[in-house]
A and B are shown apart, each in its own frame.
Chain A
């Protein structure tokens, strides 16, 4: 059962949280003027679901091509929540997907990784098609 799903919008990402499969994915672009409206329902759901995943694995895929500062704030908050639960027994494995020549995305991944000491954090650069 999928716990949480939102379709991608013009300025919002596709989000899927499936605790039964141990998968959580955010993909696309995220630049709504107020990212709280997009991320608050997700954060509430995550906080409800994560305690039940103690001892289990959660694969997290951040696969974003662009996000604004408001969304960056929300991502930082997500990382903190995930890491808190990683510390309490959820095996959190993060994949940070980014175009290999996108320094800004790579740097933000590094900044997130610093805050996710209890999780496994893997950089997953890809060559983009253009």
Chain B
């Protein structure tokens, strides 16, 4: 990549009112730092307690999904291992608030289950989402999914406008899966 292209990328992001952009391997530590910068910036922008907290929450849930579920992973260390998931985070100003858009690659074979789950969630009203969230929290073991579905429920539930998502071809056996939520 040459400098001109890097600068063009920055220019495009700035033009799109992007506040935080991150592409690459993401760890919990980086997530915590980015979340804190985001919180401080939104407070300075005087977005108010509830919007700032919603944006913070959407950011954490979505970024943690990258760490957990990205098909492009890096695991480092012996004994205490650190898990990195590769993904793309974009947070920026929307018309009257903030958008949080996160994506990562997934195996093509996982598309059906994820899409089905998202459609179910999008068809629920506020009360149904609340009850479903609680039921999922109580169902003891979701060891396999590490609570994925609860994170997704929370994203759908907290987004002030309906979430948007897409699955875009990316490589032979993988798709780029992306969710855009609004605070």
Residues of chain A at the chain B interface (Cβ within 8 Å): 10-11, 31-34, 66, 68-70, 72-73, 76, 80, 99, 101-104, 107, 111, 115, 128, 130
Contacts and interface: CB of A to CB of B under 8 A. Distances in A.
Contacts, number: 62
A41 to B, nearest CB: 15
A104 B158 contact: yes
B28 A32 contact: yes
B181 interface: no
Given A33-B67, A34-B146, A66-B57, A128 B49 contact: yes
Interface residues of B, number: 28
B74 interface: no
A66 B57 CA distance: 8
A102 B130 CA distance: 16
Nearest to A73: B137
A102 B52 CA distance: 12
Contacts of B36: 10
B49 A130 contact: yes
Interface in B52-73: 53, 56-57, 60-61, 64, 67-68
Contacts of A34: 146
A66 B52 CA distance: 11
A102 B31 contact: no
Closest 3 CB pairs of A and B: A69-B150, A76-B137, A69-B154
